[in-house]
């Protein structure tokens, strides 16, 4: 199905339905119930996370990080700039690169993939600040607003192509698993999970074809969301909390470091971490089912499936030594923790 969606986008195909017509009535009833429940708490307007991070390394020759997408990319659900994904990723990049990182966050809450053209145009308007790397997080609103998936991935492919042509590396956090939203009940939960994963896989295929990399956000960026929904979701039970965004940053930061050459790449795959080289469509489907999985192009039509995200230490190891955190200070005086 993901391959069909991607092919339909590439060749100008129309909508490819993801749900059978017989399920429409039941889904609509469940959607109305979910709408009355989700968003019962009001998520705060996302804080502005733009600015210079890693001032401990000076102000000269910063890396330029662009953030595009929807409310998840903007950081809706938290109240401090340092808790937004862009700020967390910038602080982490600064600590690894030992260089300051300038963030420009163009993401718009409520945006769908058809808004990416406007966002890319805005980001590239200033040629003196062409981004070195861009992070895109998009797709949830495409599902909830029933945007045809072929249109969704066509817009995403065009955005990645423009950014790559401009010289930026691109990392896409694929559509999250909407089946993990706590107030959504069966069978809508199962259907939302299926549709989300199909879109995520299709996004992976077109992004890899355009020279970008993807990181699957899956069940909202890790199994912690399913295990601790009260902790990992924000006040509206829809957007991530500060802990949720930190988990997102931890999942995506290794891929950003790799794509910028901040640590050596290797073609040696770690079998213990289920890394593999697979046909692109199969790699996309596999990544969609496991959060934190990176897919990057190899020799066509193959792709590398990698699990760069750090795994939790055993309980004994966690208690044997205290964890340390590096803080990178953004230009506006807020503390931007590096994760």
Give catalytic residues, as residue numbers: 71, 236, 239
Q: Dihedral sign, CA of 40, 44, 45, 51?
A: negative
- In the block, tokens 């790559």 appear at 164
Say how far apart CA 241 and CA 158 lie, in whole Å: 31
Backbone phi, psi, residue 296, to 5°: -135, 145
Q: Which of 284, 219, 304, 250 is nearest to 96 (CA)?
A: 250
Cis peptide preceding 277, ω within 30 of 0 = no
27-34's contacts with Cβ under 8 Å and 24+ in sequence apart are: 27/187, 27/188, 27/191, 30/184, 30/185, 30/187, 30/188, 31/188, 33/185, 34/181, 34/183, 34/184, 34/185, 34/188
Paired tokens of 186: 């069966």
Three-state secondary-structure class, residue 288: helix
């Amino acid at each position: 199905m993901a391959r069909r969606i991607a092919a339909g986008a590439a060749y100008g195909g129309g909508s490819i339905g993801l749900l059978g017509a017989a399920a429409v009535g039941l889904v609509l009833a469940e959607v109305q119930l979910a709408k009355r429940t989700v968003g019962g708490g009001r998520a705060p307007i996302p804080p502005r996370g733009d600015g210079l991070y890693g001032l401990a390394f000076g102000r000269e020759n910063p890396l330029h990080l662009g953030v595009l997408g929807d409310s998840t990319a903007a950081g809706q659900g938290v109240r401090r700039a340092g808790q937004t994904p862009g700020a967390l990723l910038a602080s982490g990049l600064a600590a690894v690169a030992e260089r300051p990182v300038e963030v420009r966050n163009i993401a718009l809450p409520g945006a769908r993939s058809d808004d990416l053209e406007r966002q890319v145009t805005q980001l590239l308007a200033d040629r003196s600040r062409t981004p070195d790397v861009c992070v895109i997080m998009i797709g949830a609103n495409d599902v909830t607003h029933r945007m045809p998936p072929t249109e969704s991935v066509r817009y995403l492919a065009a955005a990645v192509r423009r950014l790559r042509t401009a010289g930026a590396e691109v990392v896409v956090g694929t559509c999250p698993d909407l089946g993990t939203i706590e107030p959504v009940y069966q069978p809508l939960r199962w259907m939302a999970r299926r549709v989300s994963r199909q879109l995520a896989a299709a996004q992976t295929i077109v992004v890899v074809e355009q020279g970008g990399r993807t990181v699957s956000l899956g069940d909202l960026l890790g199994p912690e969301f399913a295990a601790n929904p009260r902790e990992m979701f924000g006040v509206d039970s829809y957007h991530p909390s500060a802990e949720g965004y930190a988990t997102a940053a931890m999942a995506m930061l290794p891929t950003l470091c790799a794509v910028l050459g901040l640590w050596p790449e290797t073609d040696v795959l770690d079998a213990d971490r289920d890394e593999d080289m697979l046909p692109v469509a199969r790699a996309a489907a596999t990544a969609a089912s496991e959060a934190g999985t990176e897919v990057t192009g190899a020799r066509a039509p193959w792709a590398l499936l990698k699990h760069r995200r750090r795994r939790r230490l055993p309980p004994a190891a966690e208690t044997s030594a205290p964890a340390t955190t590096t803080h990178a200070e953004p230009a506006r005086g807020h503390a931007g923790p590096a994760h």
